[in-house]
Each structure stands twice: as structure tokens, then as C-alpha cells.
Amino acid sequence: MSTNNANINTQPITDYFEVAPPVQLPRVLSQTVAAGLIVPQGTKVDVVVAPSQDIPVEIFAGVPDSLKGKTIKPVLPALTTAVRSVLAKDVPVTSLTEADKAVIVTGLSTISVTVTTAQVDQALVNTLRSVALFL
């Protein structure tokens, strides 16, 4: 069948639905049974949860000074699509190009964190990768 004769509604889907903001659910900070472990029904599992706005970035090891004193939620906007693409390369910081580092610098500037490409080190990249787990 030719699409020229098909009855296709070309109206954008957003005309039918209201876009809702994402919901920030609490995150599990710790639990007494490892995630993914199958346990017998009725096994007691203690879980500690907290909303991302209450979790300090310092829960991660080696947080650079530029991110100390912050909580997860205000750092999340720095993780733009471009920054997440750089972080997804999952390579040591020494393998990142100056352009990759500039992307991270630009992302951090959106949350008023000022660093230079020379300050984009392994600790900063590791911290941003850890924060990205809260997206």
C-alpha cells in the first residue's frame, strides 16, 4: 500500500498528551542483601533510601573540591547529553581529548561550577559518572 493514500495523522503526539516532569524517586543508599541476590520469600531486607536532593556528593570516594558541599540533585543538570556521551566512553581521563574535557567544563558551568580543562581529572570524571547513576 502506498503511503500517499494512507490515512496518517501527522499531528504531533504532544497535541494529545501533556508532558509531565520526571519524578525524582528516592534512591537506595544501602541494603542488607546485595541487589539481584535471590533470597527465600520472607527474608528480611533492610533498605536505606533518600531523595537525591538530600544525598551529598561526598558519598563517593575522591570527590574533587569543585563538587564538595553539593548534593546530587543540583549536580544532575550538568550531565547534559553531551557530557553523558563523554562519560559513556568509559576510558581513563588521559584518553579524553581536549574537546571532551571542554564538554565537561561547559556542562559544569551550567551549575556555576568553574573548572578548566586542566582540572578535568580522573576524580572529577569518576564523580560525574557516579552522579549519573541518579539520572
Is 126 within the bounds of a domain?
yes
pLDDT digit string, tens, across residues 57-113: 998 899 999 999 999 999 999 999 999 999 999 899 999 999 999 999 999 999 999
Is 109 within the bounds of a domain?
yes
Is 79 within the bounds of a domain?
yes
Q: What average pLDDT score do residues 42-56 get? A: 82
Q: What is the pTM of this model?
A: 0.68
**Cell numbers placing 124:** 572529577
How many structural domains comprise the chain? 1
Q: Where are the alpha helices (DSSP H) in the chain?
A: 72-75, 81-87, 98-109, 122-132
Furthest-apart CA atoms within the chain: distance in Å: 62
Q: CA-to-CA distance for 69 and 71, rounded, in angstroms?
A: 7
Residue 8 predicted with pLDDT over 70: no
Which residues constitute the domain of residue 76?
Answer: 54-132
Is 2 within the bounds of a domain?
no
Is 14 within the bounds of a domain?
no
Please give the pLDDT value at position 46. Answer: 87
Between 113 and 26, name the one with better pLDDT.
113
Is 90 within the bounds of a domain?
yes
